[in-house]
Structure 1
Amino acid sequence: MLVYVRGAGDIATGVAARLVRAGVSVVMADIAVPTCIRRTISFCEAIRLGEVQVEGIRARLAQTPAEALAITEAGDVAVVVDPQAKMLDELKPAAVVDAILAKRNLGTTRDMAPAVIAVGPGFTAPVDCDAVVETMRGHFLGRVITQGSPQPNTGVPGVIAGYGKERVIHSPAAGVFRSDRAIGDIVSAGDVIGYADDTPMCTQIDGCLRGLLANGVQVTEGFKCADVDPRGDTSYINYISDKATSVGGGVLEALAMLTDIFRG
């Protein structure tokens, strides 16, 4: 079975990992210059680097649908630059998963594949998808919704070790992002972690820099550029998060509900 995942950031990567481990072939699509910050556990880095591994699963960049299929047949995840999902006609996946996490629908429709699953707010099942998976941290995280919508976006990051919005660093100005920091660095409150052109941005808390935008990305004022984990455990940068794993499980459950993936 082939599944086409829209988006290849950290949550989408959690989805892809659970699908691959269940024996599903995966093609992931993202924009030409991805803007994810948790790059050590995001398959979209294959667009920048050509090839990456996350938790032992390899993802490789493909230029064409035929190349993408060859990569999946070799057991790897294929990553393509296809923000408009133009490759669907050639790929003919059994399911499409929208894991862009844009908090709104950027063009996914129920006629894209036999089964269409969405992730997070901005979707209503069964209007623009067959099922949608809850992404809000809390009691309902990862649950499959077949009638209705997930909880609306609050704009407030989930709390980790007592910190929510304080752990996320947004650009104070428009410009080109640059940083001499690396994901995994231990930082202290007040440290400069990067610049938008010449305007510095600082962390408000101590912890491990677990997310950092790639150098050279054009940002707007308020753009999310970094994430500090107050727990300070540098090993976490190498593992898909609990949230992404839970959401991935929800997508796998929805796929089982909507297809014959586990039916003999």
Structure 2
Amino acid sequence: MLFPDHLILLRGGGDLATGVAYRLHKAGFPLIVLELPHPLVVRRRVALATAVLEGEVAVEDLRAVRVETPEQARVLALDGAIPVLVSPELPPTLLNSSLVVDARMAKRTLDTRIDQAPLVVALGPGFTAGVDCHAVIETNRGHRLGRVIWQGPAESNTGTPGVVGGKGAERVLRAPVAGVVAWDKEIGDRVREGERLGDVADRPVVAPFDGVVRGLIAPGTAVPAEIKIGDVDPRGDVDACFTISEKALAIGGGVLEAILTHLSTQQGRES
């Protein structure tokens, strides 16, 4: 491990956060994923948050394991694995000499503050570099995706999912009513337009077009109406359902750049 003295606290374990974890882990940083007790993750097969639900998860060649205490998390992180700790708040015992990355994609400022660590990096809209955090990573698809912003905000939330294979908002499955989710299909299944995928409180959820089921929220999850519960990919690439996206890796590259820039600047001041 190249950077054992620089523990990263990664808030969130969704698919974009997992791209961040991949870049940091490969570069030699120990990291701990902090998640909610009941993560509403949709792309479960490429999200380290799935370890909360299943005990452990493998995403490409990353292995994440659920742990129960901050002490267990620190030991496992320094041993080269990726611990996932249920902790909505930042554990005080882990903040010493740690760096913080807010990858929760809440699209608004929650409880992240610039004074929580020597370097606080945040993803996407809702954050302003120099105010809420030291650096913001652009998450909107387009020319600026993955860029590091050291002063000012990321682009505003568009409210519309990015276009993939010619499909935008229509590729997102939303709960028709509040209730418990049940699925007939699994991530990676090929489906036809109008085919039943499952239901929420007995209200059917159907495929909006021909494609591959890219993401499904965990069955048995109680959800409010209109929340995102699934994703259908029109491109028909089954492998893409089980590998980290180009968007997540681009964002992860931006986080890695921000951290290495910080460490390089810090080293320059000390020399």
Query: Which residue pairs with 1:71 in the alignment?
Result: 76
8 Å contact 2:70–2:93 — kept in the other structure? no
Paired with 2:174 and 2:265, the residues of 1 have a C-alpha distance of: 41
Query: Which residue pairs with 1:28 in the alignment?
Result: 33
Unaligned runs of 5+ in 2: 1-5
- Residue 257 of structure 1, aligned match among 250, 258, 261: 261
1:57-206 aligned at under 5 Å gives the runs 57-85=62-90, 87-206=91-210
One-letter amino acid of the structure 2 residue matched with residue 139 of structure 1: H
Query: Structure 1 residues 3-12 or 70-79, which shifts more?
Result: 70-79
Tell me, what secondary structure is at the counterpart of 2:163? coil
1:24-63 aligned at under 5 Å gives the runs 24-63=29-68
Paired with 1:109 and 1:143, the residues of 2 have a C-alpha distance of: 21
Paired with 1:261 and 1:41, the residues of 2 have a C-alpha distance of: 33
- Residue 214 of structure 2, aligned match among 191, 207, 210: 210
Query: Structure 1 residues 123-132 or 254-263, which shifts more?
Result: 254-263
8 Å contact 1:187–1:207 — kept in the other structure? yes
8 Å contact 2:139–2:251 — kept in the other structure? yes
- Residue 19 of structure 2, aligned match among 14, 18, 21: 14
TM-score (norm 1): 0.96
Tell me, what secondary structure is at the counterpart of 1:103? coil
Question: Displacement, 1:195?
Answer: 1.3
Counting matched residue pairs gives 263
Tell me, what secondary structure is at the counterpart of 2:152? coil
Percent of pairs with identical residues: 46
Question: Displacement, 1:89?
Answer: 3.1
Question: Displacement, 1:223?
Answer: 0.6
Question: Displacement, 1:189?
Answer: 1.0
Tell me, what secondary structure is at the counterpart of 2:71? helix
Tell me, what secondary structure is at the counterpart of 1:209? strand
One-letter amino acid of the structure 1 residue matched with residue 12 of structure 2: G
One-letter amino acid of the structure 1 residue matched with residue 50 of structure 2: E
Paired with 1:220 and 1:14, the residues of 2 have a C-alpha distance of: 27
Unaligned runs of 5+ in 1: none
Q: Deviations over 1:60-104 (max 9, x none)?
A: 11111110011112211110011122x143352531000000111
Paired with 2:92 and 2:202, the residues of 1 have a C-alpha distance of: 42
8 Å contact 1:120–1:132 — kept in the other structure? yes
Paired with 1:261 and 1:46, the residues of 2 have a C-alpha distance of: 35
One-letter amino acid of the structure 1 residue matched with residue 88 of structure 2: P
One-letter amino acid of the structure 1 residue matched with residue 30 of structure 2: S
- Residue 223 of structure 2, aligned match among 190, 215, 219: 219
Relative to structure 1, the CA distance from residue 204 to residue 79 in structure 2 (aligned partners, 3 Å threshold; closer, same or farther) is same
Paired with 1:244 and 1:261, the residues of 2 have a C-alpha distance of: 26
8 Å contact 1:65–1:91 — kept in the other structure? no
Paired with 1:238 and 1:262, the residues of 2 have a C-alpha distance of: 38
One-letter amino acid of the structure 1 residue matched with residue 254 of structure 2: G
Paired with 2:192 and 2:23, the residues of 1 have a C-alpha distance of: 34
Paired with 2:248 and 2:265, the residues of 1 have a C-alpha distance of: 21
Paired with 1:110 and 1:262, the residues of 2 have a C-alpha distance of: 17
Tell me, what secondary structure is at the counterpart of 2:249? helix
8 Å contact 1:173–1:196 — kept in the other structure? yes
Q: Deviations over 1:151-208 (max 9, x none)?
A: 1111111111111011111111111111121100001111121211111111211111
Q: Deviations over 1:186-239 (max 9, x none)?
A: 011111212111111112111110100001111111110110110111111121
Paired with 1:200 and 1:263, the residues of 2 have a C-alpha distance of: 57
Paired with 2:95 and 2:155, the residues of 1 have a C-alpha distance of: 32
